[in-house]
A and B are shown apart, each in its own frame.
Chain A
């Protein structure tokens, strides 16, 4: 039997792993809250290992396409974050909620207020009619109207109208709860 270099140590694999690490670090810092991104090295390492194991389990192919790898990396990262959240191996203090209510002025009252706003938004979303809720949810997720329109398969005008009316309903609902983001 011909012995070959283990796939996991091939130069291509090493290059890929280095680029994936860099990308994951950036994405975690951009999206995850401080308490989670503080663990980013550990998260990145766990994710890269999971993707490597996945590739080793594949049949005879060193590396598939980048879109496939990013998909696998996302799934591994999210699964790991979910595991950590379930275990709650994190300190309970966080500034994330405080930042919502008062920029860089954390305090118990700001944390409480931030939590109320967050809960209020989700509660008010439930009260919107379905089409507005879908459009506004995508908008709040950070998508532009054209992108939301593309994802929903609706016309741009219709999506824009639903976002506009949905946001207006959301604001009114928050005001009725005495909440102002």
Chain B
């Protein structure tokens, strides 16, 4: 190993080290958010907040590495028969909505501010959306920029967009090509507010409709 590689290894080891006296902090994100970060399911603004926290917090560093290792383990073993039984959309949606209820906003804000942030984004999607014109719309504060992530019920990312200046996103038909007709999809919006704050929406759901002529 070269001296530079050795030094990198030492830096990584030092960064990863924890002691018994390292305790979780009040502003630690939920464990589910760390999993989402590792697996590329967070909008960029949320990932930025999460990394800022990880730079400071050894307990969450450990949790991040556990998520990476457990995820990798699954990937490595994908070819091996695990006897997992098919998809469980209902249970997964319950979890997805549950995860979304825990909204991590980074450093704690006052209760009034937090409540205001939670009210700020509401879905304007009603009923099913056609595959050929899958337009997601939501309400948001003036001047905000938005990141949006669209996932399946099993939380696999279907499409994402960042830095949107309007509270709308048309999901490209190509991104929906592998999604089954009639599938229920989820989306979550993060608004970067003009005041430099963040607001994270609940997880909204909608059904994908295949109309004649949608192509």
List chain B residues, Cβ under 8 A from A92: 20-21
List chain B residues, Cβ under 8 A from A27: 66, 69-70, 73
Among candidates A69, A118, A122, residue contacting B84 with C-beta atoms closer than 8 Å: A69
B54-A181 in contact (CB<8A): no
Tell yes or no: A142 within 8 A of B by CB: yes
Instruction: Give chain A's interface secondary structure class.
Output: helix
Shortest distance in angstroms between A13's beta carbon and chain B's nearest beta carbon?
Answer: 10
List chain B residues, Cβ under 8 A from A77: 66
A64-B35 in contact (CB<8A): no
Tell yes or no: A138 within 8 A of B by CB: yes
Among candidates A30, A64, A69, A114, residue contacting B87 with C-beta atoms closer than 8 Å: A64
List chain A residues, Cβ under 8 A from B28: 82
Distance between Cα atoms of A33 and B204 in the complex (Å): 39
Tell yes or no: A49 within 8 A of B by CB: no
List chain B residues, Cβ under 8 A from A143: 68
Q: Which of A61-108 contact B (CB under 8 A)?
A: 61-75, 77-79, 81-82, 85-86, 88, 90-92, 94, 96-97, 99-100
Instruction: Give chain B's interface secondary structure class.
Output: helix
Among candidates B11, B31, B83, B88, residue contacting A74 with C-beta atoms closer than 8 Å: B31
Tell yes or no: B47 within 8 A of A by CB: yes
Distance between Cα atoms of A61 and B22 in the complex (Å): 38
Q: Determine, out of B91-99, B132-140, B173-181, the stretch whose residues face the partner at the interface.
A: B91-99
Closest to B75 in A: A67
List chain A residues, Cβ under 8 A from B83: 12, 15-16, 63
A74-B84 in contact (CB<8A): no
B91-A64 in contact (CB<8A): yes
List chain A residues, Cβ under 8 A from B86: 65
Distance between Cα atoms of A128 and B211 in the complex (Å): 52
Q: Which of B20-66 contact A (CB under 8 A)?
A: 20-24, 28, 30-32, 34-35, 37-38, 40, 44, 47-48, 51-52, 54-56, 58-59, 61-66
Shortest distance in angstroms between A17's beta carbon and chain B's nearest beta carbon?
Answer: 11
A65-B20 in contact (CB<8A): no
A32-B62 in contact (CB<8A): yes
Distance between Cα atoms of A142 and B95 in the complex (Å): 29
Closest to B71 in A: A70
Shortest distance in angstroms between B79's beta carbon and chain A's nearest beta carbon?
Answer: 12
A61-B91 in contact (CB<8A): yes
A61-B65 in contact (CB<8A): no
Among candidates A31, A63, A138, A150, residue contacting B85 with C-beta atoms closer than 8 Å: A63
Distance between Cα atoms of A151 and B65 in the complex (Å): 14
A26-B73 in contact (CB<8A): yes
Among candidates B8, B35, B37, B63, residue contacting A71 with C-beta atoms closer than 8 Å: B35
A118-B17 in contact (CB<8A): yes
One digit per residue, 1 when the CB lies within 8 angstroms of any chain A CB and 0 when it does not, for chain B 93-135 equals: 0110000000000000000000000000000000000000000
Tell yes or no: A141 within 8 A of B by CB: yes
Interface pairs A-B: 9 shortest CB-CB: A64-B88, A58-B91, A78-B31, A61-B88, A140-B15, A181-B10, A75-B31, A78-B63, A125-B55
List 24 interface pairs A-B (beta carbons < 8 Å), by A numbering. Answer: A12-B83, A19-B82, A23-B70, A35-B20, A55-B91, A61-B85, A61-B90, A64-B91, A64-B92, A65-B86, A68-B154, A75-B31, A78-B66, A81-B63, A85-B23, A86-B24, A88-B20, A94-B20, A96-B18, A99-B13, A140-B15, A141-B15, A181-B7, A181-B11
